[in-house]
Amino acid sequence: MKSYNIAVIKGDGIGPEIVDEAIKVLDRVGEVFDIDFSYKEYLMGGCAYDETGDPLPNETVEGALNSDAVLFGSIGGYKWDHLHRDLKPETGLLRFRTALGVFANLRPVKVYHELTGASHLKEEIVDGVDLMVVRELTGGIYFGKPREKREDMAYNTMVYTKEEIRRIAKIAFEIAQKRRKKVCSVDKANVLEVSQLWRETAEEVAKEYPEVELTHMYVDNASMQLILDPKQFDVILTGNIFGDILSDEASMISGSIGLLPSASIGGKIGVYEPIHGSAPDIAGQGIANPIATISSAAMLLKYSLNELDASLAIDRAIAKTLHDGYRTADMAKYGAKKVCSTSEMGDIIAKNIEK
């Protein structure tokens, strides 16, 4: 029996509820595929600040680095909005990503046929969408220095090194090799020197992957094309701030943010989390959609543990559950035969796990 140690960070708001369902599904995967998962919980976010005065205790970083992967829920909420920037839950998450060295954020967007009506776009536009946004996570304007805020002005600096661009580009091309072999690199090379370097470096990396087609697109056009014709995209490669915006835009194509997972990889340990927030307004009500977190667990199996069959089993179980008409409240209007609680949805997906 193979054995893996998973660091679990449930976080704030609905985080504990949705992570519990992902663990339930992983445990079922373990039974079917003869895998032993051991879990150890750590604090991060508002709950960590409340207990320790720090949104990211050292114990959490050490525990994560000594695990095989991190399963993470969500952090933050209006309760902690008043805190100084250094103490906010979101700052803890940025510090966490930096400490683990994860520089590539993977956000897949796949539209289930049964839920095409949930999208705000026409069904014929979204049916069949299957794309991956590869966002650089630890560089760019969010981290660049100098930065300063004064009473009458403020400034930030966008910085990328060639090596930072090269390593994220290689991940995008490697992912594209296993998909439809297309990479669209998104930048603003017509006005930004940083983007000019980005484009030049992407073209250099492309020479190492001759079977993968590389195209370029300005970020303003990319934002339009995602709405006009999202099926044209396979893998989107882009920097931190552009990726932040485009991945959120792409997430709305599916119709429910509760469906979409993410992975942060590239360092020693990968971090797997839903793209949605902590939703404190519905926390504790048992109505949160756990599918994004369960899908994140599938990505954990694929990208950190190389358990490809087990990962596909989760994907198939989710697809079957939706095909059979089970929905949480956020999807209730779209072909629901039964509206499920958070826990019920986890139960059904776990039951559908099979080789």
For the residues of 79-111, what is the DSSP string, one character each? GGTTS-GGGSHHHHHHHHHHHHT--EEEEEEE-
User: What CATH number has the domain spanning 120-240?
Assistant: 3.40.50
What's phi and psi for 162, nearest 5 deg?
-60, -40
Residue-level pLDDT at 255: 79
**Quick one: which of 263, 303, 298 has its CA closest to 106?**
263
**Quick one: which of 145, 147, 139 has its CA closest to 102?**
139
Residue-level pLDDT at 256: 80
pLDDT tens-digit readout, 130-185:
999 999 998 999 989 999 999 999 999 999 999 999 999 999 999 999 999 999 99
When pLDDT is cut at 50, 70 and 90, the band that residue 225 belongs to is: very high
Q: Residues 317-325: what's their mean pLDDT?
A: 96
Catalytic residue among 39, 127, 142, 218: 142
Q: How far apart are the first and last CA of the chain?
A: 16
142 is catalytic: yes
| Residue 134: other Cβ atoms inside 10 A | 26
**Quick one: which of 241, 218, 313, 253 has its CA closest to 131?**
253
Residue-level pLDDT at 152: 97
Q: 16-25, 162-171, 211-220, 240-249: lowest mean pLDDT where?
A: 240-249
Rounded distance, CA 325 to CA 336, Å? 5
Rounded distance, CA 46 to CA 133, Å? 28
Catalytic residue among 34, 50, 220, 281: 220
Rounded distance, CA 353 to CA 355, Å? 7
Rounded distance, CA 46 to CA 7, Å? 18
As given in the structure block, the two tokens for residue 274 are 């839903």
When pLDDT is cut at 50, 70 and 90, the band that residue 254 belongs to is: confident
Rounded to an integer, what is the distance from CA 345 to the centroid of its chain?
A: 20
Q: Provide the strand spans (E) within 76-211.
A: 104-110, 130-136, 148-149, 154-155, 182-187
Catalytic residue among 244, 302, 303, 330: 244
Residue-level pLDDT at 315: 96
54 is catalytic: no
**Quick one: which of 149, 185, 190, 180 has its CA closest to 169?**
185
Residue-level pLDDT at 118: 87
The answer to whether residues 240 and 105 touch, using CB atoms and an 8 Å cutoff, is no
334 is catalytic: no
Paired with 262 in beta bridges are 273
Q: What is the DSSP string of 3-18?
A: EEEEEEEEESTTHHHH
Residue-level pLDDT at 341: 98
Residues of each domain in the chain carrying CATH 3.40.50 = 120-240
Residues of each domain in the chain carrying CATH 3.40.718.10 = 1-110+255-355
Higher per-residue confidence, 333 vs 206: 206
**Quick one: which of 130, 88, 121, 103 has its CA closest to 235?**
130
Residue-level pLDDT at 251: 86
248 is catalytic: yes
In CATH, what is the architecture of 1-110+255-355? 3-Layer(aba) Sandwich (3.40)
pLDDT tens-digit readout, 173-223:
999 999 999 999 999 999 999 999 999 999 999 999 999 999 999 999 999
Catalytic residue among 24, 110, 188, 302: 188
170 is catalytic: no
The answer to whether residues 44 and 55 touch, using CB atoms and an 8 Å cutoff, is yes
SS3 call for 210 = coil
Output the pTM of the full model: 0.92
Catalytic residue among 127, 248, 315, 320: 248
pLDDT tens-digit readout, 66-112:
999 999 999 999 999 999 989 999 999 989 998 999 999 999 999 99
